[in-house]
Structure 1
């Protein structure tokens, strides 16, 4: 948003709660695991959930310049055609449909892979490449997928994501071995224009309201509460946990919830904080190497999208091959995977379970709580088990035999034991979203122009506005949300 608004000559202040992204742990793509639970992560944890055997799952979110794009795995997954067509129906606005979103992708991308004039753009500001010089297990997994009936494609973001799905090497935001986070593309060029200011270590606490109009924000910097006025617009892009938190602390949200924490209701919006969604990522199906191979790029180079049920309108599974052993606090000690191992992590990217973000008090420094309800819908564990079974079939196929000394976990289990394994191995993709959804029903928070219902002078531009989480890694669709907001505000 700062990059887009800078081009208009507007005076823009960017408040970032974290600090600089210009450090090795951010710039080196392979170091992304070291950012989790560091000072560059907000450190959120879900409430205990019965669906994951009472476990509390970590919910990393970037607290650093660039947010999630500075601590993620750099995967550029556009989402499925059906995602955007569904968003357009929910918003009552065809500007969100796939055909229109595809034109935005083509406009902004500088795609380095196989040419596809109908679907991929070149010469745009966003450099995107297919993983370079991948670990040999990545192309082998594509062959393994083909052996079980999943077709392989040259591009994970081309025709593959307009139909049944398929397998492909990953698109990534990496160039010459270095992470390309979003500030490098949008923010830092804008700072050179002189009309954009970046203030780090500035944690927004609430919106300043005059009646139902937002006129500025308060924030904490160096332990001091400060405020700043906005002459025209405040854009809230704090993510799917902190955006509803800031709204509720400002009196915008479900009245019953605001009464409970002692915040006066300014605008009663029952959908604020509701509809929480995240992709489930199982950690994982693991094999020991015959001869260990070094991981490449960001440790994850091959993926596939497929249906757990042929009647679905699009793929609901997205397993990812991870080139190191990946287990949870339960399955790790139980199975003891060796260091020389690799993983296929089963993934559920169309979860039906819904949770919520809520506050325990009006203290702006207290973390919001997340009652995520992982695997609470009965269809979700069924789909996760199907994903595990499919990953085991792929990993144990002839195409992978040169890389397999033995299957470490989970092995062949009874149906009941496999369900229990799924609940103990479940984590998330760290794709928190949907808590201020776009739509037209009574639970919608923003309209198709990303304006908050009943509030003036406020735009939301982050993954919280998704009506349903996109099919795949969420960085690219979140960029689309920012681009759409930029189009709207600069029209």
Structure 2
């Protein structure tokens, strides 16, 4: 069924708009010749931002970065826009002295602006998977074990955009809700009765190659409206050191219930008569597994879907929590805005929502920013 109908519950084919069969990325959007040659865009390659620095009291408009071992700085005429993502944005803010003052002091970082919510409220989708041995050799496992066959399939795709590589790894997806009785006593984190608690992603093959040379099918399950909250913090005053990322997957009981119900639903799905003769045996839990066994399986197999958000969350003006105001300006500061998915707060997060929110930030925040800058210095202000 149409996943964009406004009522996505049910099963359907994965829908995507992919230009010429190639996925877009930061590289295709910024590093292609037509972009690099623009006179009003300067892309610095192979560099990492170290910190955002204060230019005057409560104003942060200068960024320090390192490239090829050389430390350099840039200063904005009007504003800096930080778009380093839900991991990079809090990492940079904290190393800039913007965050929980006591935590920064303990690491030897001079606190410049007390904002305890920086790096907190991290939300991420949690996924687990079930795998099944199948009676078929027409799965992607065969090519994964055969380098010659894999090369032939890639050559066919490059030559004519045909063959097995036309399909995505997960061509069918489904969106489902947990029965109301299972969530009795818990708030519903979904956006409403027509929106899902969990997702199925069905793959014609194992998640990773197996040594037993069997062929398989996988069902990945994602909790798409998680209650659990994690954090991005520091373990070092070195801005080149990796941050501490704690997604706290399945940290809340309600998320564990949703994960368990998703596993049960997947096992019921593969028990349908249509699969008879195709599915040989499940790997891992099965229909007779207890709730405790499924919960243990989920805890041991839980993984991120790499959809982090919320670590620089938006809150109302004057609120004692959050990192940015509704205009995306960092609370209490001038010259600095955050425009990425770290500003989101909602518990209901799907990949589609993430995509829409990204477009929302880029499209709807730009006009008010331009208006404010032009008001401050007249029309035609340089940014």
Identify the TM-score tier after normalising by the shorter chain: 0.7 to 0.9
Distance 1:387 1:395, change over 3 A: same
Q: Distance in 2 between matches of 1:325 and 1:476?
A: 30
Rg comparison, structure with higher value: 2
Report the secondary structure of 2:50's partner residue. strand
Per the alignment, residue 171 of structure 1 pairs with: 15
What aligned pairs does 1:452-463 form with structure 2 within 5 A after superposition? Answer: 452-463=330-341
Structure 1 residue 324, shift from structure 2 partner: 2.5
Q: Secondary structure of the equivalent of 2:337?
A: strand
Q: CA deviation at 1:326?
A: 2.2
- Matched with 1:321 is 202
Unaligned runs of 5+ in 1: 1-152
Structure-2 residue corresponding to 1:361: 236
Distance 1:477 1:398, change over 3 A: farther
- For residues 117 and 274 of structure 2, what CA distance do their matches in structure 1 show? 48
Report the counterpart of residue 282 of structure 2 in structure 1: 407
Does the aligned pair in 1 maintain the 2:225–2:349 contact within 8 Å?
Answer: yes
Residues 302 and 337 of structure 1, relative CA distance in 2, 3 Å threshold: farther
Residue 244 of structure 1: CA displacement? Answer: 0.5
Alpha carbons 2:226, 2:255 under 8 Å: kept: yes
**C-alpha distance in 1 between matches for 2:368 and 2:339:** 11
Deviation at 1:458, TM superposition (A): 1.1
CA pair 220-182 structure 1, distance change in 2 beyond 3 A: closer
- CA 1:207–1:307 in structure 2 vs 1: closer, same or farther (change >3 Å)? same
The offset of 1:419, in angstroms, is: 1.2
Deviation at 1:294, TM superposition (A): 4.2
Find 1:196's aligned residue among 28, 32, 41: 41
Q: Taking structure 1 as the reference length, what is the TM-score of the superposition? A: 0.62
Report the counterpart of residue 181 of structure 1 in structure 2.
Answer: 25
Which position in structure 1 is the counterpart of 2:5? 158
| Secondary structure in 2 matching 1:319 | strand
Distance 1:180 1:356 in 2: 28
Aligned equivalents of 1:191, 1:483: Cα separation in 2: 22
Does the Cα contact within 8 Å between 1:470 and 1:477 map onto a contact in 2?
Answer: no
1:341 matched to 2:216? The reply is yes
Task: Give the SS at the match of 1:275.
Answer: coil
Asked whether the 8 Å contact 2:314–2:322 carries over to 1, the reply is yes
Report the CA distance shift for 1:454/1:417 in structure 2 as closer, same or farther (over 3 A).
same
Shift of 1:393: 1.4
Structure 2: unaligned runs, 5 residues or longer: 141-164, 372-383
* C-alpha distance 320-290 of structure 1, shift in aligned 2 (>3 A): same
Does residue 484 of the first structure (1) align with residue 364 of the second (2)?
Answer: yes
Q: Write the deviation string for residues 125-172 of structure 1: whole angstroms up to 9, x where unpaired.
A: xxxxxxxxxxxxxxxxxxxxxxxxxxxx2x2123224xxx23222222
Distance of 2:213 and 2:314 partners within structure 1: 45
Contact 1:280 1:427 in 2 (8 A): yes
Aligned partners of 1:316 and 1:350 also within 8 Å: yes
Once the two structures are superposed, residues 53-100 of structure 1 have per-residue CA deviations (whole angstroms, 9 ceiling, x without a partner) of xxxxxxxxxxxxxxxxxxxxxxxxxxxxxxxxxxxxxxxxxxxxxxxx
Contact 2:132 2:218 in 1 (8 A): yes
Taking only aligned residues, the RMSD between alpha carbons, in angstroms, comes to: 2.3
Show the 5 A alignment for 1:234-383. Answer: 234-282=80-128, 284-295=129-140, 296=165, 297-310=167-180, 312=188, 313=192, 314-326=195-207, 340-383=215-258
Distance 1:470 1:486, change over 3 A: farther
- 2: CA distance between counterparts of 1:400 and 1:472? 29
Alpha-carbon contact 2:205-2:217 (below 8 Å) kept: yes
Shift in alpha-carbon separation, 1:394–1:447, aligned structure 2, 3 A: same
Q: Report the CA distance between 1:378 and its aligned residue.
A: 1.1
> Are the equivalent residues in 2 in contact too, given 1:281–1:427 (CA < 8 A)?
yes
Distance in 2 of aligned mates of 1:402 and 1:475: 39
| Pair 1:395 & 2:270 matched | yes
In 2, the alpha carbon distance for the partners of 1:477 and 1:342 equals: 32
In structure 2, distance between residues paired with 1:438 and 1:285: 36
Contact 1:318–1:472 (CA<8 Å) still a contact in 2? no
Question: How far apart are residue 322 of structure 1 and its match?
Answer: 2.6
Change (3 A) 1:190 1:289: same
With normalisation by structure 2, the TM-score equals 0.79
Pair 1:451 & 2:296 matched: no
1:472 corresponds in structure 2 to 350
Name the SS of the counterpart of 1:488 in structure 2.
helix
Task: Tell me, in whole angstroms, the C-alpha distance in 2 between the residues paired with 1:232 and 1:410.
Answer: 57
Q: Deviations over 1:4-57 (max 9, x none)?
A: xxxxxxxxxxxxxxxxxxxxxxxxxxxxxxxxxxxxxxxxxxxxxxxxxxxxxx
3-state secondary structure, aligned to 2:86? helix
CA contact (8 A) 2:139 2:216 kept: no
